[in-house]
Copies of this chain bind each other. A is one copy, B any other.
Amino acid sequence: MQIGVFPQFMPRKSQNEDAILARISDRSRSSESQAATPSVSLGIGDDAALFQPKPGYETILTCDWFLEKTHFLRKKHPPDAVGWKCLARAISDVAAMGGTPRCFLLSLALPETHTGRWLDLFLGGLRRASRKFQCVLAGGDTTRRNEILINITVVGEVRVGHAVLRSGAREGDLLYVSSRLGEAELGLRTLRQVKGPSGSNNPAMRKHLYPQPRLALGRWLAEKRLATSMIDLSDGLSTDLSRLCKASGVGALIGADDLPCVKQPGARKGRAEFPSPIELALNGGDDYELLFTSRRGVLPAVPWKFRGLPIHPIGHVTSGPNVVLAESGGRLLNLRVLSPGGWDPFRKRR
């Protein structure tokens, strides 16, 4: 049952699948008509969608779960943010390849109680992200469920041979991250303390609710062939850096003092239970910043800022296999082998 069929034969009072599909299709129309998507030759309304990358480009495929209770809370996360984030985080994988998103498929399972206002607000957030990242709804699947389940497949494109993989890091390469780390985790912890559904005036909470995939940076690094490897930070630096190192068959040495951390959250009033900024930077998930490596020789080519976005050198690639954190403990340099300590759904949550 694909999105795109409209109710006709049997007007019913209660919502049926086709009526819901019609609403989804309707609400996404304004983004669909964007001129930026000649690549989708058949969108919503058939058994499947048809897509063609530009000549000389190949297709990027990625999918992501976004599930109530696992990835968001019905009573805490505004439906608009759920709509934005489910697409933005899937698009982040395209950014991490150095590609450009083109279209997406939406699989949505909803309780009947959420097919009205909640769905409208959700689709509003989804459409905003769709417009912002020029990634149009091309199809999907809906069904009824007690819990809200979302799965997003994003389809993008990248010039043949220009995709930046996880596996290209070599000993001696320099390690970089964009912007700041641990901020989204701080936002999540702040959100949990707020009573009732939350607004988003707090910058950390905004980063948690409305992440910004670093598409322009990723694309630029790929086009200029500046990045030898790249990954987006979805599960926390300690976990994702380990993945990049594993894929490349290398290790890494990073400096605690070089990590772009949030300001002392634990120091503020009533926040004594928060992890330290360095812990947030190492193990906090959902930042969707880019982590990449670059040959040492091209150092001057990686700027401190790219279109206003800070880029921080945080260490370098070693022969491996460990990821080591260098912390200054008084006059001594303390070396600590890092374990992946970020988000893992099969481990009990910290």
Instruction: Determine the distance from Cα of A15 to Cα of B344 in the docked complex, in whole angstroms.
Output: 10
Whether the pair A49, B67 counts as a contact (CB closer than 8 A) is no
Please indicate the chain B residues that have their CB under 8 angstroms from the CB of A62 in the complex: 2, 47-49, 105, 139
Whether the pair A46, B247 counts as a contact (CB closer than 8 A) is yes
Please indicate the chain B residues that have their CB under 8 angstroms from the CB of A58 in the complex: 41, 50-52
Residue interface bits A140-152, CB-to-B below 8 A is 1, else 0: 1111110001010
Q: In the complex, how many residues of chain A place their beta carbon closer than 8 angstroms to a beta carbon of chain B?
A: 88
| Listed stretches A28-36, A171-179, A229-237, A262-270; interface member | A229-237
Q: How far is the CB of A69 from chain B (nearest CB, A)?
A: 9
Please indicate the chain B residues that have their CB under 8 angstroms from the CB of A334 in the complex: none
A255 part of interface (Cβ distance < 8 Å): no
Instruction: Determine the distance from Cα of A154 to Cα of B235 in the docked complex, in whole angstroms.
Output: 26
Whether the pair A59, B65 counts as a contact (CB closer than 8 A) is no
With contact pairs A67-B143, A93-B2, A140-B63 given, residues A45 and B9 touching in the complex (Cβ less than 8 Å): no
A340 part of interface (Cβ distance < 8 Å): yes
Whether the pair B166, A45 counts as a contact (CB closer than 8 A) is yes
A138 part of interface (Cβ distance < 8 Å): yes
A327 part of interface (Cβ distance < 8 Å): no
Instruction: Determine the distance from Cα of A340 to Cα of B9 in the docked complex, in whole angstroms.
Output: 7
Whether the pair A49, B60 counts as a contact (CB closer than 8 A) is yes
Interface CB pairs A-B, < 8 A, 22: A4-B247, A6-B246, A9-B246, A10-B340, A17-B345, A18-B243, A20-B346, A47-B93, A47-B97, A47-B166, A48-B60, A50-B59, A50-B60, A51-B59, A61-B153, A65-B107, A65-B109, A65-B141, A67-B149, A70-B109, A107-B151, A112-B346
